[in-house]
Amino acid sequence: MASPLVFSVTRREPVLVPPAKTTPHEFKPLSDIDDQEGLRFQIRSIHFYRNNIAMKGRDPVRVLKDAMAKALVFYYPLAGRLREGPGRKIIVECNGEGIMFIEADADVRLEQFGESLKPPFPCYDELLYDVPGSGGIFHCPLLLMQVTRLRCGGFIFAARMNHTIADGYGFHNFLIAMVEMIKGSAAPSVIPVWSRELLRARDPPRVTHLHREYDDVADTKGTIIPLVDMAQRSFFFGKREFSALRKHVPPHLRTCSTFELLTACLWRCRTTALSPDPDEEVRAVCIVNTRFKYKPPLPAGYYGNALAFPVAISTAEKLCEKPLGYALELVKKAKEEVSQEYVESVADLLVLRGRPHFAVVNAYLVSDLTHAGLERVDFGWGRPLYGSVPNAGVGNIEGVASFYIPFRNVEGEDGILVPLCLPGPAMERFVVELEAFINEEPYNRTPKVIMSGL
Protein backbone atom coordinates (compact mmCIF):
# COMPACT_ATOMS: atom_id res chain seq x y z
CA MET A 1 0.00 0.00 0.00
CA ALA A 2 1.18 3.49 -0.79
CA SER A 3 0.76 4.82 2.74
CA PRO A 4 -0.32 3.42 6.11
CA LEU A 5 -4.09 3.22 6.47
CA VAL A 6 -5.47 4.39 9.79
CA PHE A 7 -8.61 2.69 11.06
CA SER A 8 -9.95 1.23 14.28
CA VAL A 9 -10.88 -2.36 15.03
CA THR A 10 -13.40 -3.50 17.63
CA ARG A 11 -12.73 -7.04 18.82
CA ARG A 12 -14.78 -9.47 20.85
CA GLU A 13 -13.10 -11.52 23.54
CA PRO A 14 -11.02 -14.33 21.96
CA VAL A 15 -12.63 -17.77 22.26
CA LEU A 16 -11.44 -21.32 21.77
CA VAL A 17 -13.22 -23.23 19.00
CA PRO A 18 -13.09 -26.99 19.68
CA PRO A 19 -14.00 -29.74 17.19
CA ALA A 20 -17.74 -29.94 16.52
CA LYS A 21 -17.78 -33.54 17.76
CA THR A 22 -15.87 -35.50 20.37
CA THR A 23 -12.43 -36.52 19.09
CA PRO A 24 -9.84 -38.99 20.43
CA HIS A 25 -7.72 -37.94 23.39
CA GLU A 26 -4.30 -39.28 22.48
CA PHE A 27 -0.62 -38.36 22.12
CA LYS A 28 0.92 -38.22 18.65
CA PRO A 29 4.65 -37.61 18.01
CA LEU A 30 5.55 -35.19 15.25
CA SER A 31 7.95 -36.30 12.54
CA ASP A 32 11.70 -35.75 12.82
CA ILE A 33 11.37 -33.13 10.08
CA ASP A 34 8.52 -31.30 11.89
CA ASP A 35 10.28 -30.61 15.15
CA GLN A 36 13.59 -29.15 13.97
CA GLU A 37 14.48 -25.79 15.50
CA GLY A 38 14.06 -23.93 12.20
CA LEU A 39 10.31 -24.71 12.15
CA ARG A 40 9.57 -23.72 15.73
CA PHE A 41 7.84 -20.46 14.86
CA GLN A 42 4.48 -19.12 13.67
CA ILE A 43 3.61 -18.71 9.98
CA ARG A 44 1.04 -16.10 8.97
CA SER A 45 -1.44 -15.47 6.20
CA ILE A 46 -4.05 -12.89 5.27
CA HIS A 47 -7.03 -13.03 2.88
CA PHE A 48 -9.14 -10.05 1.70
CA TYR A 49 -12.70 -10.77 0.49
CA ARG A 50 -15.21 -8.53 -1.30
CA ASN A 51 -18.86 -8.25 -0.39
CA ASN A 52 -20.93 -10.76 -2.35
CA ILE A 53 -24.67 -10.21 -2.72
CA ALA A 54 -25.11 -13.97 -3.17
CA MET A 55 -24.06 -14.32 0.50
CA LYS A 56 -26.43 -11.61 1.75
CA GLY A 57 -27.61 -12.38 5.27
CA ARG A 58 -24.73 -14.76 5.98
CA ASP A 59 -22.26 -13.59 8.62
CA PRO A 60 -18.66 -14.51 7.64
CA VAL A 61 -17.72 -14.76 11.32
CA ARG A 62 -20.34 -17.39 12.04
CA VAL A 63 -19.81 -19.20 8.72
CA LEU A 64 -16.05 -19.54 9.16
CA LYS A 65 -16.24 -20.32 12.86
CA ASP A 66 -18.71 -23.16 12.30
CA ALA A 67 -16.62 -24.47 9.39
CA MET A 68 -13.49 -24.54 11.56
CA ALA A 69 -15.26 -26.62 14.20
CA LYS A 70 -16.47 -29.12 11.60
CA ALA A 71 -13.08 -29.36 9.87
CA LEU A 72 -11.38 -29.93 13.22
CA VAL A 73 -13.28 -33.19 13.61
CA PHE A 74 -11.02 -34.54 10.86
CA TYR A 75 -7.95 -32.42 11.69
CA TYR A 76 -8.33 -32.90 15.44
CA PRO A 77 -4.56 -32.75 16.24
CA LEU A 78 -4.75 -29.04 15.28
CA ALA A 79 -7.08 -28.54 18.26
CA GLY A 80 -4.47 -29.99 20.64
CA ARG A 81 -1.37 -28.68 22.37
CA LEU A 82 2.31 -29.45 21.90
CA ARG A 83 4.53 -30.96 24.60
CA GLU A 84 8.30 -31.46 24.49
CA GLY A 85 9.70 -34.81 25.54
CA PRO A 86 13.17 -36.33 25.94
CA GLY A 87 15.67 -35.39 23.25
CA ARG A 88 13.58 -32.30 22.42
CA LYS A 89 11.03 -34.57 20.73
CA ILE A 90 7.71 -32.79 20.17
CA ILE A 91 4.44 -34.59 20.81
CA VAL A 92 0.94 -33.22 20.26
CA GLU A 93 -1.58 -33.96 22.97
CA CYS A 94 -4.86 -34.30 21.09
CA ASN A 95 -7.09 -32.93 23.84
CA GLY A 96 -9.66 -31.00 21.81
CA GLU A 97 -8.97 -27.68 23.53
CA GLY A 98 -9.42 -25.92 20.22
CA ILE A 99 -8.23 -23.17 17.91
CA MET A 100 -8.21 -19.59 19.18
CA PHE A 101 -10.67 -17.41 17.28
CA ILE A 102 -11.30 -13.66 17.27
CA GLU A 103 -14.38 -11.88 15.95
CA ALA A 104 -13.81 -8.25 14.95
CA ASP A 105 -15.25 -5.26 13.08
CA ALA A 106 -13.27 -2.47 11.38
CA ASP A 107 -14.48 1.01 10.43
CA VAL A 108 -12.93 0.81 6.97
CA ARG A 109 -13.98 -0.24 3.49
CA LEU A 110 -12.02 -2.69 1.37
CA GLU A 111 -11.33 -0.11 -1.36
CA GLN A 112 -9.53 2.07 1.18
CA PHE A 113 -6.71 -0.49 1.26
CA GLY A 114 -5.74 0.62 -2.24
CA GLU A 115 -6.09 -0.52 -5.81
CA SER A 116 -3.44 -3.21 -5.50
CA LEU A 117 -3.37 -5.29 -2.34
CA LYS A 118 0.17 -6.51 -1.72
CA PRO A 119 2.71 -6.81 1.11
CA PRO A 120 3.77 -5.24 3.30
CA PHE A 121 0.56 -4.80 5.26
CA PRO A 122 1.51 -2.49 8.15
CA CYS A 123 -2.01 -2.92 9.57
CA TYR A 124 -1.55 -6.67 10.05
CA ASP A 125 -1.33 -6.47 13.84
CA GLU A 126 -4.83 -4.96 13.87
CA LEU A 127 -6.17 -7.69 11.62
CA LEU A 128 -4.68 -10.53 13.67
CA TYR A 129 -4.47 -9.59 17.32
CA ASP A 130 -1.58 -11.20 19.17
CA VAL A 131 -3.53 -12.60 22.10
CA PRO A 132 -1.25 -12.52 25.16
CA GLY A 133 0.16 -15.97 25.88
CA SER A 134 -1.00 -17.43 22.57
CA GLY A 135 2.19 -17.18 20.54
CA GLY A 136 4.42 -19.80 22.11
CA ILE A 137 5.34 -23.17 20.68
CA PHE A 138 4.26 -25.31 23.63
CA HIS A 139 1.03 -25.36 25.67
CA CYS A 140 -0.56 -22.81 23.31
CA PRO A 141 -3.22 -22.97 20.59
CA LEU A 142 -1.73 -24.25 17.35
CA LEU A 143 -3.84 -21.87 15.27
CA LEU A 144 -5.00 -18.30 15.87
CA MET A 145 -7.60 -16.91 13.47
CA GLN A 146 -9.37 -13.56 13.20
CA VAL A 147 -12.29 -12.64 10.96
CA THR A 148 -12.76 -8.88 10.61
CA ARG A 149 -15.95 -7.53 9.04
CA LEU A 150 -15.58 -4.37 6.93
CA ARG A 151 -18.02 -1.50 6.42
CA CYS A 152 -18.52 -2.43 2.76
CA GLY A 153 -19.74 -5.94 3.59
CA GLY A 154 -16.44 -7.56 2.78
CA PHE A 155 -14.18 -9.14 5.37
CA ILE A 156 -10.57 -10.04 6.12
CA PHE A 157 -9.48 -13.48 7.30
CA ALA A 158 -6.08 -13.64 8.98
CA ALA A 159 -4.38 -16.63 10.55
CA ARG A 160 -1.25 -17.66 12.42
CA MET A 161 -0.15 -21.29 12.65
CA ASN A 162 2.52 -23.14 14.59
CA HIS A 163 4.78 -24.30 11.75
CA THR A 164 5.79 -27.53 13.48
CA ILE A 165 2.29 -29.00 13.09
CA ALA A 166 1.92 -28.39 9.33
CA ASP A 167 3.49 -26.75 6.30
CA GLY A 168 1.82 -24.41 3.80
CA TYR A 169 0.43 -27.33 1.80
CA GLY A 170 -1.10 -28.80 4.95
CA PHE A 171 -2.56 -25.46 6.05
CA HIS A 172 -4.14 -25.05 2.61
CA ASN A 173 -5.70 -28.53 2.91
CA PHE A 174 -7.26 -27.50 6.22
CA LEU A 175 -8.70 -24.32 4.67
CA ILE A 176 -10.13 -26.34 1.78
CA ALA A 177 -11.72 -28.68 4.32
CA MET A 178 -13.37 -25.59 5.83
CA VAL A 179 -14.59 -24.56 2.36
CA GLU A 180 -16.10 -28.01 1.83
CA MET A 181 -17.82 -27.91 5.22
CA ILE A 182 -19.39 -24.57 4.24
CA LYS A 183 -20.70 -26.19 1.05
CA GLY A 184 -22.35 -28.94 3.10
CA SER A 185 -19.90 -31.80 2.69
CA ALA A 186 -19.96 -34.46 5.37
CA ALA A 187 -16.19 -34.98 5.10
CA PRO A 188 -13.23 -33.40 3.26
CA SER A 189 -12.64 -34.67 -0.26
CA VAL A 190 -9.00 -35.25 0.76
CA ILE A 191 -9.02 -37.07 4.09
CA PRO A 192 -6.18 -35.83 6.33
CA VAL A 193 -3.41 -38.32 6.99
CA TRP A 194 -1.16 -38.17 10.07
CA SER A 195 1.48 -40.85 9.24
CA ARG A 196 4.34 -38.78 10.69
CA GLU A 197 6.36 -41.99 10.97
CA LEU A 198 6.99 -41.69 7.22
CA LEU A 199 9.43 -38.86 7.98
CA ARG A 200 11.00 -40.40 11.05
CA ALA A 201 14.74 -40.98 11.41
CA ARG A 202 16.02 -44.40 10.51
CA ASP A 203 17.16 -46.89 13.16
CA PRO A 204 20.05 -46.54 13.51
CA PRO A 205 20.29 -43.06 11.97
CA ARG A 206 22.89 -42.68 9.22
CA VAL A 207 23.73 -39.38 7.56
CA THR A 208 24.44 -40.05 3.89
CA HIS A 209 24.60 -36.49 2.49
CA LEU A 210 26.69 -33.46 3.38
CA HIS A 211 23.75 -31.19 4.41
CA ARG A 212 25.58 -27.89 4.52
CA GLU A 213 22.25 -26.22 5.22
CA TYR A 214 22.82 -27.29 8.83
CA ASP A 215 26.39 -25.98 9.09
CA ASP A 216 27.17 -24.41 12.45
CA VAL A 217 28.05 -20.92 11.19
CA ALA A 218 29.09 -18.42 13.85
CA ASP A 219 27.88 -14.85 13.37
CA THR A 220 31.30 -13.38 14.09
CA LYS A 221 30.76 -10.30 11.90
CA GLY A 222 27.19 -9.45 12.83
CA THR A 223 25.89 -10.57 9.46
CA ILE A 224 22.41 -11.61 10.59
CA ILE A 225 20.34 -8.64 9.50
CA PRO A 226 19.31 -6.38 12.41
CA LEU A 227 15.65 -5.51 12.86
CA VAL A 228 16.23 -1.75 12.79
CA ASP A 229 15.90 0.68 9.88
CA MET A 230 14.26 -2.06 7.83
CA ALA A 231 12.48 -1.37 4.56
CA GLN A 232 9.88 -3.72 3.07
CA ARG A 233 8.93 -3.72 -0.60
CA SER A 234 7.26 -6.10 -3.02
CA PHE A 235 8.59 -6.71 -6.54
CA PHE A 236 6.48 -8.01 -9.42
CA PHE A 237 7.89 -10.35 -12.07
CA GLY A 238 5.83 -10.92 -15.18
CA LYS A 239 6.60 -12.07 -18.73
CA ARG A 240 8.75 -9.02 -19.51
CA GLU A 241 10.90 -9.39 -16.41
CA PHE A 242 11.44 -13.14 -16.83
CA SER A 243 12.23 -12.71 -20.51
CA ALA A 244 14.84 -10.08 -19.63
CA LEU A 245 16.41 -12.28 -16.94
CA ARG A 246 16.68 -15.29 -19.25
CA LYS A 247 18.77 -13.21 -21.66
CA HIS A 248 21.40 -12.90 -18.91
CA VAL A 249 22.11 -16.65 -18.78
CA PRO A 250 23.70 -18.92 -21.42
CA PRO A 251 21.34 -20.66 -23.88
CA HIS A 252 21.77 -24.08 -22.26
CA LEU A 253 20.41 -22.69 -18.96
CA ARG A 254 17.41 -20.83 -20.37
CA THR A 255 15.12 -23.82 -19.90
CA CYS A 256 15.52 -23.51 -16.13
CA SER A 257 12.42 -23.03 -13.97
CA THR A 258 11.20 -19.57 -13.02
CA PHE A 259 11.98 -20.46 -9.39
CA GLU A 260 15.61 -21.20 -10.20
CA LEU A 261 16.05 -18.12 -12.37
CA LEU A 262 14.38 -15.77 -9.91
CA THR A 263 16.26 -17.20 -6.93
CA ALA A 264 19.62 -16.82 -8.68
CA CYS A 265 18.88 -13.21 -9.61
CA LEU A 266 17.52 -12.14 -6.22
CA TRP A 267 20.33 -13.90 -4.35
CA ARG A 268 22.94 -12.07 -6.38
CA CYS A 269 21.22 -8.64 -6.22
CA ARG A 270 20.58 -8.97 -2.49
CA THR A 271 24.18 -10.01 -1.77
CA THR A 272 25.56 -7.06 -3.74
CA ALA A 273 23.19 -4.73 -1.89
CA LEU A 274 24.27 -6.00 1.54
CA SER A 275 28.00 -5.79 0.68
CA PRO A 276 29.46 -8.55 2.85
CA ASP A 277 33.21 -9.16 2.93
CA PRO A 278 34.23 -10.56 -0.47
CA ASP A 279 35.61 -13.78 1.01
CA GLU A 280 32.56 -14.52 3.18
CA GLU A 281 30.35 -17.46 2.27
CA VAL A 282 26.81 -16.50 1.30
CA ARG A 283 23.90 -18.91 1.00
CA ALA A 284 20.63 -19.32 -0.88
CA VAL A 285 18.35 -21.72 0.99
CA CYS A 286 15.72 -23.20 -1.35
CA ILE A 287 12.68 -24.66 0.38
CA VAL A 288 11.63 -27.78 -1.53
CA ASN A 289 8.34 -29.66 -1.23
CA THR A 290 9.43 -33.30 -0.95
CA ARG A 291 6.01 -34.97 -1.21
CA PHE A 292 6.70 -36.21 -4.73
CA LYS A 293 10.33 -37.11 -4.04
CA TYR A 294 9.08 -40.24 -2.28
CA LYS A 295 8.33 -43.49 -4.11
CA PRO A 296 5.40 -43.78 -3.89
CA PRO A 297 4.64 -40.10 -3.13
CA LEU A 298 3.44 -39.18 0.33
CA PRO A 299 -0.35 -39.52 0.74
CA ALA A 300 -2.34 -36.57 -0.65
CA GLY A 301 -3.77 -35.92 2.80
CA TYR A 302 -0.39 -35.73 4.54
CA TYR A 303 -0.34 -32.30 6.19
CA GLY A 304 2.92 -32.40 8.13
CA ASN A 305 6.09 -30.64 7.07
CA ALA A 306 7.36 -32.35 3.93
CA LEU A 307 10.14 -29.86 3.37
CA ALA A 308 13.85 -29.84 2.67
CA PHE A 309 16.25 -26.88 2.80
CA PRO A 310 19.00 -27.52 0.21
CA VAL A 311 21.53 -24.72 0.06
CA ALA A 312 23.59 -23.07 -2.67
CA ILE A 313 26.87 -21.64 -1.35
CA SER A 314 29.41 -19.23 -2.84
CA THR A 315 31.83 -16.61 -1.70
CA ALA A 316 30.27 -13.17 -2.02
CA GLU A 317 32.97 -12.10 -4.47
CA LYS A 318 32.36 -14.96 -6.91
CA LEU A 319 28.59 -14.60 -6.71
CA CYS A 320 28.67 -10.89 -7.51
CA GLU A 321 31.49 -10.89 -10.10
CA LYS A 322 30.59 -13.94 -12.16
CA PRO A 323 27.73 -13.95 -14.70
CA LEU A 324 24.22 -14.79 -13.51
CA GLY A 325 24.58 -18.30 -14.93
CA TYR A 326 27.04 -19.07 -12.11
CA ALA A 327 24.42 -18.45 -9.43
CA LEU A 328 21.79 -20.26 -11.47
CA GLU A 329 23.88 -23.41 -11.74
CA LEU A 330 24.47 -23.40 -7.97
CA VAL A 331 20.73 -23.09 -7.28
CA LYS A 332 19.85 -25.84 -9.78
CA LYS A 333 22.46 -28.18 -8.28
CA ALA A 334 21.18 -27.59 -4.76
CA LYS A 335 17.59 -28.37 -5.74
CA GLU A 336 18.57 -31.46 -7.71
CA GLU A 337 20.18 -32.99 -4.62
CA VAL A 338 16.82 -33.56 -2.97
CA SER A 339 15.52 -37.13 -3.11
CA GLN A 340 13.81 -39.51 -0.71
CA GLU A 341 17.23 -40.65 0.49
CA TYR A 342 18.23 -37.01 1.00
CA VAL A 343 15.20 -36.33 3.24
CA GLU A 344 15.80 -39.52 5.21
CA SER A 345 19.39 -38.39 5.73
CA VAL A 346 18.13 -35.00 6.97
CA ALA A 347 15.89 -36.68 9.55
CA ASP A 348 18.83 -38.77 10.74
CA LEU A 349 21.07 -35.70 11.05
CA LEU A 350 18.42 -33.77 12.98
CA VAL A 351 18.04 -36.55 15.53
CA LEU A 352 21.78 -37.03 15.95
CA ARG A 353 22.45 -33.31 16.39
CA GLY A 354 19.57 -32.38 18.68
CA ARG A 355 17.24 -30.90 15.99
CA PRO A 356 19.34 -27.84 15.05
CA HIS A 357 18.30 -24.71 13.14
CA PHE A 358 19.42 -24.41 9.53
CA ALA A 359 22.18 -21.82 9.07
CA VAL A 360 20.93 -18.23 8.69
CA VAL A 361 24.19 -16.27 8.75
CA ASN A 362 24.65 -14.62 5.34
CA ALA A 363 21.66 -16.64 4.14
CA TYR A 364 18.69 -15.84 1.92
CA LEU A 365 15.78 -18.24 2.25
CA VAL A 366 13.18 -18.51 -0.50
CA SER A 367 9.84 -20.33 -0.43
CA ASP A 368 7.74 -20.90 -3.54
CA LEU A 369 4.03 -20.41 -2.77
CA THR A 370 2.93 -20.30 -6.40
CA HIS A 371 1.40 -23.79 -6.06
CA ALA A 372 0.21 -23.49 -2.45
CA GLY A 373 -3.32 -22.48 -3.47
CA LEU A 374 -3.84 -19.84 -0.78
CA GLU A 375 -4.95 -17.30 -3.39
CA ARG A 376 -7.81 -19.60 -4.46
CA VAL A 377 -9.48 -20.23 -1.09
CA ASP A 378 -13.18 -19.38 -1.61
CA PHE A 379 -15.36 -19.52 1.50
CA GLY A 380 -18.41 -18.60 -0.57
CA TRP A 381 -17.64 -14.93 -1.16
CA GLY A 382 -15.43 -15.61 -4.18
CA ARG A 383 -11.67 -15.84 -4.39
CA PRO A 384 -9.73 -13.37 -2.26
CA LEU A 385 -8.39 -10.16 -3.80
CA TYR A 386 -5.17 -11.18 -2.07
CA GLY A 387 -4.47 -14.39 -0.21
CA SER A 388 -0.99 -15.27 1.04
CA VAL A 389 1.67 -14.10 3.50
CA PRO A 390 1.43 -10.54 4.90
CA ASN A 391 5.10 -9.62 4.51
CA ALA A 392 8.66 -10.84 4.03
CA GLY A 393 10.49 -12.77 6.73
CA VAL A 394 9.93 -15.78 8.95
CA GLY A 395 9.85 -15.96 12.71
CA ASN A 396 11.94 -13.23 14.27
CA ILE A 397 14.33 -12.94 11.30
CA GLU A 398 12.59 -10.46 9.02
CA GLY A 399 15.28 -9.91 6.45
CA VAL A 400 16.27 -13.51 5.76
CA ALA A 401 13.29 -14.87 3.80
CA SER A 402 11.16 -14.10 0.76
CA PHE A 403 8.10 -15.84 -0.65
CA TYR A 404 7.11 -16.27 -4.29
CA ILE A 405 3.42 -15.40 -4.46
CA PRO A 406 1.12 -15.84 -7.49
CA PHE A 407 -0.19 -12.36 -8.27
CA ARG A 408 -2.21 -10.40 -10.80
CA ASN A 409 -1.14 -6.76 -11.06
CA VAL A 410 -3.39 -3.76 -11.71
CA GLU A 411 -2.89 -4.19 -15.47
CA GLY A 412 -4.35 -7.69 -15.23
CA GLU A 413 -1.01 -9.43 -15.87
CA ASP A 414 -0.31 -12.64 -14.00
CA GLY A 415 3.12 -13.14 -12.49
CA ILE A 416 5.01 -13.62 -9.26
CA LEU A 417 5.17 -11.14 -6.39
CA VAL A 418 8.19 -11.23 -4.08
CA PRO A 419 8.14 -9.36 -0.75
CA LEU A 420 11.64 -8.39 0.36
CA CYS A 421 12.94 -6.89 3.59
CA LEU A 422 16.33 -5.16 3.83
CA PRO A 423 17.96 -2.29 5.73
CA GLY A 424 16.96 0.98 4.06
CA PRO A 425 20.27 1.77 2.28
CA ALA A 426 20.62 -1.84 1.14
CA MET A 427 17.10 -1.76 -0.31
CA GLU A 428 18.05 1.25 -2.43
CA ARG A 429 21.10 -0.60 -3.77
CA PHE A 430 19.03 -3.72 -4.37
CA VAL A 431 16.56 -1.80 -6.55
CA VAL A 432 19.42 -0.44 -8.68
CA GLU A 433 20.90 -3.93 -9.14
CA LEU A 434 17.57 -5.51 -10.02
CA GLU A 435 16.62 -2.80 -12.50
CA ALA A 436 19.97 -3.24 -14.22
CA PHE A 437 19.26 -6.93 -14.82
CA ILE A 438 15.79 -6.21 -16.16
CA ASN A 439 16.59 -3.15 -18.26
CA GLU A 440 20.17 -3.61 -19.49
CA GLU A 441 21.25 -5.72 -22.42
CA PRO A 442 22.87 -9.01 -21.39
CA TYR A 443 26.61 -9.24 -20.84
CA ASN A 444 27.01 -5.44 -20.92
CA ARG A 445 27.07 -5.12 -17.17
CA THR A 446 30.33 -4.12 -15.51
CA PRO A 447 31.40 -6.88 -13.08
CA LYS A 448 30.73 -5.95 -9.47
CA VAL A 449 33.62 -5.95 -7.04
CA ILE A 450 31.95 -5.75 -3.68
CA MET A 451 33.52 -3.98 -0.79
CA SER A 452 32.55 -4.51 2.81
CA GLY A 453 30.73 -1.64 4.43
CA LEU A 454 29.49 0.06 1.26
193: which strand partners? 302
Sequence-ordered list of residues with C-beta below 8 angstroms from that of 442, at least 6 positions apart, any chain:
247, 248
CB 34, CB 203: distance < 8 Å: no
Q: Hey, what amino acid is at 377? A: V
| Candidate list 32, 34, 35, 163, residue with the active-site label | 163
SS3 69: helix
- Residue from 302, 90, 62 nearest 181 by CA: 62
Task: Say which residues have a Cβ less than 8 Å from residue 256's Cβ, sequence separation at least 6.
Answer: 249, 328, 332
Task: Locate the DSSP E strands across 311-424.
Answer: 311-315, 363-368, 386-388, 401-408, 414-423
Q: Tell me the Cα Rg of the chain.
A: 22
SS3 content of the chain, % helix, strand, coil (to 5): 30, 25, 45
With a CB cutoff of 8 Å and minimum separation 6, the contacts of 108 are 5, 7, 150, 151
Would residue 172 show up in a list of annotated catalytic residues for this protein? Answer: no
Of 66, 105, 215, 378, the catalytic one is 378
β-bridge mates for residue 43, sequence order: 161
- The dihedral built from the CA positions of residue 292, 295, 301 and 302, taken in this order, carries a sign that is negative
Active site residue 229: no
Please say whether the beta carbons of 328 and 351 come within 8 A.
no
Q: Which residues contact 428 (CB under 8 A, 6 or more apart)?
A: none
The sign one gets for the Cα dihedral 403, 225, 121, 100 is positive
Helical H segments across 247-339, by residue range: 258-274, 316-321, 324-336
Nearest CA to 286 out of 211, 367, 360, 210 is that of: 367
DSSP state of 93: E
- Asked if 309 and 215 count as a contact pair (C-beta separation under 8 A), the reply is no
Report CA-CA distances (Å) from 265 to 147, 270, 303: 37, 8, 31
Q: What residues act catalytically?
A: 163, 378
